[in-house]
Amino acid sequence: MDAPHPGPVADSLDRRIISALQIDGRASWHRVATALGEPERTVVRRGTRLLDSGLVRIGAMAVRGRSTVVAMRCAPGRARVVATALARRPDSVFAHVLTGTWDCVAEMQCPRDRLPGLVMDELPGLPGIVRTLTLPVLRHVRTIREWHAGLLTEAEITALADGTPATAAPGSADLLPPVDGAGELSRADRLLVNALAEDGRCTYDELARVCGVSEATARRRLGALRRGGRVRIRAVIEPALLGLPVEAVLWVRAVPAAVDTVTAALAGSPHVRYASFVTGERQLLALTAFPDEAALHDFVTRSAWLREAVSVDVSMVLGSLKRGGMLSRYIG
CATH assignment at residue 204: 1.10.10.10
Query: By three-state DSSP, how is residue 59 classified?
Result: strand
| Pair (313, 271) in one structural domain | yes
Residue 170 has a pLDDT of: 41
Q: Is residue 293 part of a domain?
A: yes
Residue 15 is assigned to a structural domain of this protein: no
What integer pLDDT is reported at residue 174 of this predicted model?
Answer: 35
Residue 246: what pLDDT? Answer: 97
Domain range for residue 211? 177-227
Report the pLDDT value the prediction gives residue 292, as an integer from 0 to 100: 97
Residue 255 placed within a domain = yes
pLDDT at residue 303 in the model: 96
The residue out of 227, 262, 291 marking a domain boundary is 227
Q: Which helix (H) or strand (E) holds 32?
A: helix 29-36
User: Is 62 among the domain residues?
Assistant: no
CA–CA distance from 129 to each of 20, 226, 249, 332 (Å)?
39, 36, 20, 23
Task: Kindly state whether residues 252 and 203 are assigned to the same domain.
Answer: no
pLDDT, position 142: 87
Cβ neighbours of residue 52 closer than 8 Å, sequence gap 6 or more: none
Pair (220, 252) in one structural domain:
no
Q: Is residue 114 part of a domain?
A: no
Q: Are 66 and 111 in contact (CB under 8 A)?
A: yes
Last residue within a domain, chosen from 227, 256, 286:
227
Whole-number Å distance between alpha carbons of 212 and 134: 41
Whole-model pTM?
Answer: 0.84
- Domain count of the chain? 2
Both 247 and 314 in one domain: the answer is yes
Start-to-end CA span in the chain (Å): 37
Residue range 203-233, pLDDT digits in tens: 999 999 998 899 999 999 999 998 888 888 8
pLDDT score at 150: 84
Indicate the SS3 state at residue 204: helix
On whether residue 59 sits in a domain, the answer given is no
Best CA proximity match to 83, nearest among 64, 66, 98, 101: 98
Residues 207 and 182 in one domain: yes
Low-confidence ranges of the chain (pLDDT < 50): 1-6, 167-182
Domain with residue 290: its CATH number is 3.30.70.920
Say whether both 247 and 307 belong to one domain: yes
Burial class (CB in 10 A: 0-12, 13-18, 19+), 149: buried
Shared-domain flag, residues 254 and 297: yes
Residue 182 in domain:
yes
Q: Is residue 311 part of a domain?
A: yes
